Amino acid sequence: MAVSVAAIFVAPTRLASSAWTPHFALDHAADSLMPESSEQDESLSEGDVIPDYAVFRPIDFAQVTAILDKMAKVASPIVLLVNHKGEQVFTYSRGGDTRTPFPLASCSKWLTAAAAMTLVDSQDLSLDDPVSYHLPEFRRDKEAITLRMLMSHASGLPRELIRKGAEPLPVEGRHEKARGRRSRSKDLDGIVLQVARRARMESPPGKRFCYSNLSFRVVQRLLEVVTQKPWDDLFQQRLGGPCGMSHTRFTNAQRFVPDGGESTVEDFAAFLEMVRTGGIAVSGRRVLSFEAVEEMTRSHTLGMELGCLTEPGSHEKDEYGLGVWLSQFDAKTGRPQVVRHFGTAGFKGYIDYRRDMTVVLATRLKDLEKRKRVKKLFWKLMESLETIIPLSPPKEAQGKT
């Protein structure tokens, strides 16, 4: 087991008035952050409350480590990385490290949507143009499907092409387990052609949320046609390379995961930082416009009828953006405070805007019961992180960047 903790110093403490803006200086001797002056601010009166972000002390990751130790008994290998305000503050690994490749499964949807938004930024694609303009095989009841519908699971396409009790179609399904043989079609073009010709619509386009792996296969193929490049190449050129994701790959000959990609905790953390900062990579390069990130992380399913979900009963209070789940909405702005996506095999990406925190967890799990146990422990892990990493200053206190 390997654990790494960086020396950051923040913890929630109730002390001051929200009108008080403290300045801090590093006390190297004490190895902690302290106010520049020990004298009480004269503007404070008894009973005032200093916001959580105004007082600093060392973070104790002991409880987080204990939860991960429990998780490691269920899942191996397992790797976790936590960033706070763009700095790596905690890592944990057993059986791998931050550069070990793991199957992304549905976390690939987030990357696919971001890659598509680079083409929206460059005006090579529009979110609301019918995909049939570029993919003429989408006709009749599929002709009105748009890129926005595909990336928000509102296209009407089913989750899979393989239906219960039916013969499997000759394309890749989510799992072979109890559903038929492996796919004969290995190329994205062949898969999407079968979707256009043989997939039965769950609802008319734009009318109903139905979580669909097929939708994002169509997006990947659409991007191939528009750029005239294979999916792997265009992903690296437009998103992977600019974000510094040198170990992230997709494959058309998928294994058991629906989206066919693999990445590392380090790579995916770099992607999350790009999203958290509004489109700017850790290198300082702008990858997506601020408006593109805002569009991805706003609800596109508000008020929409819920169809098939990833897990029945698990997302009724959540909304979906473009390629990403949204939750914990701000009462004033309506913006999500948490955006996330989880993968079938245990890969998880999580951004908490309130704390400027990003979290990536990676495992490899096929057993359903183990997946459930790991997911339950993950939520306990997030609760623990929320107690030790405080809320960031409100945007108006931070100033515009």
The pLDDT assigned to 173 comes to 36
| Residue 44 reports pLDDT greater than 80 | no
**H helices within 244-390, ranges in order?**
265-276, 290-296, 368-388
Q: How far apart are CA 169 and CA 240, in angstroms?
A: 32
Say which range, 6-10, 68-72, 249-253, has the weakest mean pLDDT. Answer: 6-10
Domain 62-398 has CATH 3.40.710.10: yes
Q: How far apart are CA 325 and CA 119, in angstroms?
A: 22
What tens digit of pLDDT does each residue of 291-307 get? 999 999 999 988 888 77
The pLDDT assigned to 16 comes to 31
The pLDDT assigned to 45 comes to 54
The pTM (predicted TM-score) of the whole model is 0.81
| Residue 158 reports pLDDT greater than 50 | yes
The pLDDT assigned to 349 comes to 97
What are the structural domain ranges in the chain?
62-398
Handedness of CA 24, 5, 91, 325 (dihedral sign): negative
Adjacent-strand bridge partners of 263: 102
The pLDDT assigned to 390 comes to 86
- Considering only CA atoms, give the Rg of the chain: 22
Residues 124 and 41: beta-carbon distance below 8 Å? no
Handedness of CA 343, 374, 329, 318 (dihedral sign): positive
